[in-house]
Structure formats: C-alpha cells, structure tokens
Structure 1
Amino acid sequence: MKKILIVLTNVSHYANTHDATGLWLGEATEFAEEIQKAGYAIDYVSPKGGFVPLDPRSMKYVDDSIMKFYETTDFKKRALANSLSPQDVNPDDYSAIYYTGGHGVMWDFPNNPELQKIALSIYNHSGYITSVCHGVAGLLKIKDDNDNYLISGKKITGFTTAEEIIAGKKSVVPFLNRPVAKSHGATFVKKRAYSTFAIQDGHLITGQNPFSARAVAAKLIQALN
C-alpha cells in the first residue's frame, strides 16, 4: 500500500510584518488521523524541509483529538521538526499528496517547482492531488505536460474571499484564491463561510476551510478504496 504525502509550510510570518503565521494545526492532524485510521502511512514534506512553524491562532481551535495527535512524538519529530525536503521525496511512493493550509502557504506553495513536479507525477500515475483551505494555493499554478493549468475545467474549492474578510487578512495576503483559480480556468465552488465542505472532481479533492480536513480525508479514502 502506497503512502500519503502531507505538505506543510515553512513560513512563520506574514510578509512585511511581524505577525506570526504558519501551519494551521488541525488541518494537518485531523486529516492525518483519518488517513492513519484507514491504514495508510504518512510522510511530511515542506518547501525547505526541516522546521514547520504553527500558526498561533490555530491553537485556539484545538480539541482533544487535535491535541492528542499534536503531542505524539511522531508528529512533533517528523512533521514539525524534521519535515522532508522535496528532493528527499520519491513520488512513486505515494498514492496522494495533500496540501495543508495556514496563511503561510500563500507565500511558499504557489511558486515551488519541486512540489509541483512531485504533485504532477503522483497525478499522472493515477494518484490524487488534495488540499484544504489555503492549501489550494499549491494547486493554482501546477501545469500538466501540455503546459495547461491542471485545475482548468475542474471544480475546486478553498478559503474564500468572504472567509478572508472575516479572518481580517484580506489586506495582507498576496492574492485571493477564487480570482486566481477562475483566471486559470477552474470553477471555484463554495458554501457558507466556515461550514464543512469538500468537493471531488476526478483526481482532485479540495476542502474549503479549516473545518473541512476530515471531509477531504473521507473522500480520499473512499477514492483509494
């Protein structure tokens, strides 16, 4: 059985500010917990490898399951302290790649050719590209072998403009997901702000916000089975 690759950010603050950001904890732990319960092994990668910062605001939304997973030695060591670098990853080992969120990903996910190459290789070998919340930023610029945007003609979702306004970050993020997705040919689907929502279109599975990580995992597990 092949593994699932989880992508995490290395960005610790909003650009041109001292405001802290990073991985939105539950988007990693909730997905990983469901995937492991289904019997799949997990690896963690980040654009630079090594240390992964946590978005401090995400710690306000932890529950018992998130905290329990967060406190495991495996998660702290392999995800937060020693995530893999892209060059350490063999795409052939994975059935799917999952892009987590947290605002930091908007700076180090979209323009990373190494991660794009890994994702496309997994996709081209009948694997799945998945994301949640801001993690959709990792999908926006992936191009297929014909130099077309992979999301073109696909239905996807991610953190919405309305949710960005509610979060108070619309003025500091480098772009908004929906306009970029639409400009690259995707149909951006959304539901009520901060409600659980995930959608699958072929081998792309995306979730709208932090409350959608388990929904993405459920769709992926169903697809793999």
Structure 2
Amino acid sequence: MLKTLIFAHRGASGTHPENTMTAFQAALDDGADGIELDVQLTKDRVPVIIHDETVNRTTDGQGWVKDYTYEELKKLDAGGWFHPAFHGAAIPTLEAVLEWLAPTSLLLNIELKNGIVRYPGIEEIVLKLIKKYDVKNRVIISSFNHYSLVEVHRLDPDVETAVLFMEGLYEPWEYAKALGANGLHCFLPVAVPELLAGAAKAMMPVRPFTVNEDQHIRALINGCDAIITDWPEKAVIIRKQCT
C-alpha cells in the first residue's frame, strides 16, 4: 500500500512560528517526512524563508522583504507574534536551513514566492544552494508562478518541480507534463476523487495543501502521495492508526 508522506507546512506551524528553525526542528521531532517552506530574496539577493511578501504579519517589523538587506532582516523578531515563548526567533536563510537539513533524512519542498514580487534570478540562486548541499534528490521546487517552474526545469531538468494551483483544473497532470513538472500541489478542496485517480494513473504525485482537519487527514492518508499540513505530529499519529 502507498505510504502517504507527511510534509510540515512552513514547519510545524500549528505549534510553532511558521518558517523558523524552531518550527523545522519541531517537524523533524514530530516524525514528519519532509518540510515545506517559502523562499524570497532580500534587497542584497540573499534567499530567506518567509511566506508573505511583507514582514508585517510574522515579525515586529514593517515593509517589503525585497526592501530589507539580510543584515536588517535578521534583526527582526519572527517568533514573538506567535507566542512570547518564541520571542527572538529569526527569519532564517535558505542556506542555514539546507545546512541543518543535509544530515537528516528529511525531504524538502521549496516554494518560490515569486508571483507578486518577481525576484529575477531566484531560480538559479536556489539551485546553486541545492547543489552546494547535495540534496537535489530530496528537493521538490513548487510555485504558483509556472513560468518560474519552466525556468527551473530549463536550468536543471533533474530537479523535481511541482505545480501549485487553487482551481479545479481538468486533467492537471497533462498541464504539468507540458511544463516539465513532476507533481501536483493542489488546494485541498480541489483534491477530488477524479483528480486523485487520474493523477495516479498518469504516475503524477499529488500533495494537497493545507490538510489540517482530522477527517481530511484520514480521507487522504493512503489515498495520495503526500499531504502538506500545519500539524505533522497529529498527522503522523493518524497515519499510524490507519495502517
């Protein structure tokens, strides 16, 4: 039987401040198979891990990520907004995460956040770091910017890419193949039986997001290749109950 992998969405973001090293370590401790994170570039083109295009929601700062140098960005508190116990957590660099992840067995889903802010050259910067830490065989690059996925595939056809989408597309595996992509990362409500069955027949992995409710986890465990969840500890427990 297919073992559905569990990716921790922005780390164990249900219990820790998202996209921080403490959230990633918690995901590893919880027994997740992989982590999902978001990459953007600072003003001085350092790839950093943060979801929003601004720092307003998840730090004590204000403004666009692209307008901060890394030296400025790392001084922001990226944990206190979640709970005072995490005060002082910093926005990590992609390099720091890869250095931490390399000796583990974790898989890594890197989402390129280059739809609203385009970040020219982000694909090459990210691929160079993946090569430096020799984790290519454990990385999936995803994006809502599908032109960016085509660029990743052009630069390195051996890196796995996955199409992020929110809509109920017809036969999205055919679209993904046209881009040279290897996976479908769909919004949970569009992970309908027809999509799951068709993608499985086409040998195209499906990894829905964000799968947080117990009934949704139970419905998808053993029914798709992976789920992306804020609650990896809970998902691991449910998976054990379902096998």
Pick the structure with more helix per residue.
Answer: 1
Normalization by structure 2: what TM-score? 0.38
Normalization by structure 1: what TM-score? 0.40
Highest CA radius of gyration, 1 or 2?
2
